[in-house]
Structure 1
């Protein structure tokens, strides 16, 4: 029984670590002078995905810790995908991507059918 609990604890810890979290250490830093995001070259959806999502969903969208999303656009609309990105779902925490970046990634993912 102890081995099962240890495996569950280690697996959960690994999943939470891989998906990351909100790092508030940058809260005291000045925003970029041109008001563009510093994430992934100012808004390229594929780059944002690669930087923020691929650790769980894999670079090729086939999943790993997170589910396979290669054809997510055939199941969910852009708005539904954006809501999941913003609010989280299952083991995916909320707020990994926010604002315009979330909208761009949701639109990009909705095209994967």
Structure 2
């Protein structure tokens, strides 16, 4: 008396598909709430429009992964501390990217403040 080994796999697959379906419905019902949460987590929304941009907070969220906790560089990523680049060159890199660094990590309206902050790192 051999049992069919496919039955448990079909049951698990059916359960998984049902779970995905119900979770997607939950996401559709809460999309406005999730969008508002994402804006606040990324530093967007009203806080950014109110002129309260904090370059260091943005750097802690987006720069330390590549440039290191103290911004002194690691591996192929250069140090931000004491950079020989001019403020205009930093603005260009922040806007357009260069090498492994993608452009657009800093909102356009905050590029000037971010470039000034990077230049102030000593």
Q: TM-score, normalised by structure 1?
A: 0.59
1:62 to 55, 72, 79: 72
The structure with more helix, counted as a fraction of residues: 2
Q: 2:92 maps to what in 1?
A: 83
Q: Which residue of 1 aligns with 2:121?
A: 112
Partner of 1:29: 35
The unaligned stretches of length 5 or more in structure 2 are 1-31
The equivalent position to 2:62 in structure 1, one of 52, 61, 80, is 52
What is the root-mean-square deviation in Å for CA atoms of aligned residues? 2.9
User: Which protein is bigger by CA-based radius of gyration?
Assistant: 2
Distance in 2 separating the partners of 1:57 and 1:84: 14
Contact 1:48 1:101 in 2 (8 A): no
Unaligned runs of 5+ in 1: 1-25
CA contact (8 A) 1:62 1:69 kept: yes
Runs of 4+ in 1 over 4 A off after TM superposition: none
